[in-house]
Structure 1
Amino acid sequence: MEGNIIGRILFYVGIVVMVVGVILAYSMANVTNYGGPAGNRETTIQWPIFFHTAIRAVIAGLLLIGFSEIIKLLHSINSKTGLVKGTTTNTGATDHDKDEEQPTEWKLSKTDEEKIYEAYADKAILEIIPSSFEGYCIVKLQEYDGPLDPVIKVVDIGGLSVQEVAGAVTRKKILDWYKEQY
């Protein structure tokens, strides 16, 4: 599913609530005074009533639009990370191991790079290499105080945080690719 229908519906309902609310606030604030023996009619607007009602309608509409944006954001995160496809099975391997992934050309974004630096803040990162499989990186790490003995980690950067790849098949594919390249 390309877009999220609930997010769209909430967005449009929020706009309708704001527009209709302002129109209703205007109609509720209009007061017609009949005065004098001739029955003269005078229409005035009660500004406190108008602003009170209009502000409530605008706030309600903005809340609905805000909820729609949250739903759209969650939907985009779900489609980006593939939470449904990447669920963990009882053996500890992910469903990604079952899929035959084809190598692709992709670039590491600044936010993904920041996630890696944040995840391994206690270690010296020597090199970050995007693998041929999108969403996976090879990270060379070393202890700050230890001897020069780099450790190679295969990480998945597709989620909200960096996770080491637990699936043996995916890990082996990426390490084989790394050994061929370097």
Structure 2
Amino acid sequence: MSGSDVVARARELIEQGRAWQARDLLAEHLETVRDAPALTLLGHVHHGMGDLPRAGAAWFTTGVRGPEADEAVAAWREQSADDFAVMWRSIPAPFRDEPRPPRIEALRARALTSDPDLDKPASPLLPDGAGPDAVVGQAPPDDEEPSGLDGAQVIGWIVAAVFVVCAVIGAVTVLNWVVPHA
């Protein structure tokens, strides 16, 4: 589907009261395509849904001006606590590619001062900011050695003890069947 087809379809969905579907359609399209009209419309959809920070990111990227855009950009900056690296990453990837308008280039330059690794590709398997040795879903190791037993160890020892007792009882029972009594 071409960019104009996506925008037309999104407008139809909005008119039908299905803004969330328009949002999803536009967001999916913008993952791989640099399409300013689609991003501008996505900003309007986010604004209409009450998501001012995302509307602000979209409108900042496309250069939309006006009171609504200014309010949304302010919300975007507030949500990201003016962390320029966070703001940079909230812009769709195709718009981070060159050539970039001066406002996007300025954002990138400020983001690079706070995060020199900004342009390194992130691994899809690692959380943002995690190094290559990080394991998803696991906290970084502490400097302290864990002390004491945890619940899993206690349960493991109990299960092992029960298994040994049952094995001994079973062996004695089998021997009583096999060996004749005098």
Superposition TM-score tier, normalisation by shorter sequence: under 0.3
Report 1 or 2 for greater relative contact order, CA contacts < 8 Å, sequence distance ≥ 6: 1
Q: Which has the higher strand share?
A: 1
Using the size of structure 1 for normalisation, the TM-score is 0.25
